[in-house]
Amino acid sequence: MENLMSSFSLVTKMATNDYVGFTFFVGCMAMMAASAFFFFSMNDFDRKWKTSILVSGIITFIAAVHYWYMRDYWATVGESPTFFRYVDWVLTVPLMCVEFYLILKVAGAKKSLMWKLIAASVVMLVTGYFGEAVYNTGSGPAVWGLISGLAYFYIVYEIWFGSAKKLAEQAGGAVLKAHKALCWFVLVGWAIYPLGYMAGTPGWYDGLGDLGLNMDVIYNIGDAINKIGFGLVVYAAAVASRSKSEA
């Protein structure tokens, strides 16, 4: 009977020092709360911004669902939920690229900018997955991580110095401010991920793992900062442009 009960139990005990389990749990709640916030507030804004805030909510909602599964996977299997992690990213990171495009649309951004960013983000994530889950021994992680890093740098270059930057400057005001903030998220916030990768895979950078840093904890912190932060930047831009047009 007890066995039967425990196999149907939805909650497993969590150790007080299980930081991975804890950050999956809190991350799940934070993503849910953020989604509710974005979905309920989107109708306060005109069409231009409504879509951007809707996408912010979709990003945190997709993450919330994946965090639900990852939290469960960790609690029951006790391993890093690499597959769910990368499925989450391959859905949400391209949507973050869509955010850049939506914000810059007012300044005449072309769809080609969006597709360039999306393509680079998919290359970044697929090669990262290869290094973490497929060719994950010997020099595999370092080599695939490097290729992934190059795609990452391409995204950074494109938004900081490429056509995206020119469009943001043309638009000025709330758009320029939001673009700048998102650029910083990509440069600093996204740089959290390669750190997690290096902590969790073998390579020349092995010292990082020895510092006691855990890959999943680092990824979970990165996700909370970047997914919710990105959405809040968009929300703030919508508020700023609304109060200007009301004045």
By CB under 6 A, residue 197 contacts ligand RET? yes
SS3 content of the chain, % helix, strand, coil (to 5): 85, 0, 15
Under rule CB under 6 A, residue 190 binds ligand RET: yes
Would you say 154 and 219 are in contact if contact means Cβ atoms under 8 Å apart? Answer: no
Shortest Å distance, C-beta 176 to ligand RET: 22
Asked if 193 is part of the footprint of ligand RET (rule: CB under 6 A), the reply reads yes
If one asks whether residue 80 binds ligand RET (CB under 6 A), the answer comes out as: no
Q: What binding mask, one character per residue, do residues 137-176 give for ligand RET by CB under 6 A, x or -?
A: --------x--xx--x------------------------
Q: Candidates 12-20, 46-54, 159-167, 188-196: pick the segment binding ligand RET (CB under 6 A).
A: 188-196
Query: From the centroid of its chain, how far is CA 35?
Result: 14
Q: Is 220 in the site for ligand RET (CB under 6 A)?
A: no
> What's the min distance (Å) between Cβ of 227 and ligand RET?
5
H-type helices in 42-172, by residue range?
A: 47-77, 82-104, 111-129, 140-161, 163-171
SS (H, E, C) 191-229: CHHHHHHHHHCCCCCCHHHHCCCCHHHHHHHHHHHHHHH
100 scored as a contact of ligand RET (CB under 6 A): no
What Å distances lie between residue 101 and 109, 111, 204, CA to CA?
Answer: 6, 7, 37
The least distance separating ligand RET from the CB of residue 162, rounded to whole angstroms, comes to: 18
Task: Name the phi and psi angles at 81, rounded to 5.
Answer: -80, 65
Interacting residues with ligand RET (CB under 6 A): 89, 92-93, 124-125, 128, 145, 148-149, 152, 190, 193-194, 197, 223, 226-227
